[in-house]
């Protein structure tokens, strides 16, 4: 089998992930990145295409008639024309739930950062402030316990469930808001506005759909507590960035932590860049070493299952 890996650098920009598991599957060509103009050439006569963000459109499939299988080095598959792939008999499989632990971990890194103020204390201590204090315990920056705070979780897939599990261990009050009421959910389930109004922290773990696009807007933000913190590790377009920036700059909410933006890499003119009380990470929540290695293993197992006639994680 001929295999084209179109954007390997999205998985391995530092060279820490072995290509050997993929090379065992067939005759593989690795491309660091693939521009739209290069897609047809880089796929060539490959039967298997592995990619993360490269657009595989109707036109690409027509110009690359050997494609039989598309494997996503990701969970999301909005870069693939799924309907046309199905029409052409091309199997499409995604990476499944590979990043659950990593994304949940980063969500709580944000929450603990906000409550414990470790970065802030490191700065003032290294500036010599503790040395000047007559007190052995120097605490000019207020901190807070996580226990007893209300965490509203929007989306209750594998990541939302893991976040709730960790929140329970921290003795937080947990509210779930999701599209359909989950069975046997041990937490309070409510509509989005109730979840917003009650939240000390609200974290988004929902897919990007027509209904969720721009759902964090001026109207939703106006229902949040002024002391509330918003976290988004889902998709950037869930947030209306202008509305969130205005809310932060005008003190309508206390803080925001964003791992995703509507345009990635970040645009220099995004309103979030200079928003007050906003921490931005560069879409890193999923990218722990163990997580990326797990994803490669899942993707390789998907290919083997397809070759054996029993595809797994199929999305079409």
Report the catalytic residues.
235, 264, 283
φ/ψ of 69, rounded to 5, equals: -150, 135
CA dihedral 195, 198, 202, 206 (to 10 degrees): 0
According to DSSP, the residues that pair with 5 across neighbouring strands are 30, 50
In sequence order, what are the residues at sequence separation of 6 or more whose Cβ sits closer than 8 angstroms to the Cβ of residue 302?
71, 93, 95, 311, 312, 313
> What is the DSSP secondary-structure string of 191-235?
-HHHHHHH-SEEEE-----TTTTT-BSHHHHTTS-TT-EEEE-S-
- Token pair, residue 311, equals 């595809």
Nearest to 53 by CA among 67, 69, 39, 68: 39
Nearest to 51 by CA among 59, 63, 39: 39
Cis peptide before 265 (omega within 30 of 0): yes
Q: Could you report how far apart the first and last alpha carbons of the chain are, in Å?
A: 22
According to DSSP, the residues that pair with 174 across neighbouring strands are 151
Q: How far apart are CA 192 and CA 108, in angstroms?
A: 21
């Amino acid at each position: 089998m001929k295999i084209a890996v179109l954007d390997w650098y999205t998985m391995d920009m530092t060279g820490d992930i072995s290509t050997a598991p993929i090379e065992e599957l067939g005759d593989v060509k690795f491309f660091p990145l693939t521009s739209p103009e290069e897609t047809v050439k880089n796929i060539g006569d490959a039967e298997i295409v592995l990619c993360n963000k490269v657009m595989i459109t109707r036109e690409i499939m027509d110009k690359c008639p050997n494609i039989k299988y598309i494997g996503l080095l990701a969970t999301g598959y909005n870069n693939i024309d799924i309907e046309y792939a199905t029409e052409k008999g091309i199997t499409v499989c995604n990476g499944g739930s590979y990043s659950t632990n990593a994304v949940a971990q980063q969500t709580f890194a944000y929450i603990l950062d906000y409550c414990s103020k470790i970065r802030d204390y490191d700065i003032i201590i290294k500036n010599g402030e503790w040395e000047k204090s007559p007190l052995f315990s120097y605490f000019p920056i207020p901190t807070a316990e996580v226990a007893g705070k209300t965490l509203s979780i929007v989306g209750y897939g594998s990541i939302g469930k893991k976040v709730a599990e960790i929140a329970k261990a921290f003795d937080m009050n947990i509210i779930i808001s999701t599209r359909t009421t989950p069975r046997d959910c041990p937490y309070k389930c409510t509509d989005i506005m109730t979840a917003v109004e009650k939240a000390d922290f609200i974290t988004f773990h929902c897919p990007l759909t027509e209904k969720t696009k721009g759902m964090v807007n001026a109207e939703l933000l106006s229902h949040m507590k002024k002391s509330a913190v918003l976290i988004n590790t889902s998709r950037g377009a869930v947030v209306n960035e202008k509305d969130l920036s205005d809310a932060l700059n005008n003190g309508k909410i206390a803080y925001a932590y964003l791992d995703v933006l509507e345009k990635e890499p970040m645009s220099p003119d995004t309103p979030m860049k200079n928003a007050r009380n906003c921490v931005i990470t560069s879409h890193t929540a999923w990218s722990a070493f163990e997580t990326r290695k797990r994803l490669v293993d899942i993707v390789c197992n998907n290919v083997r299952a397809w070759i054996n006639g029993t595809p797994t994680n199929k999305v079409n």
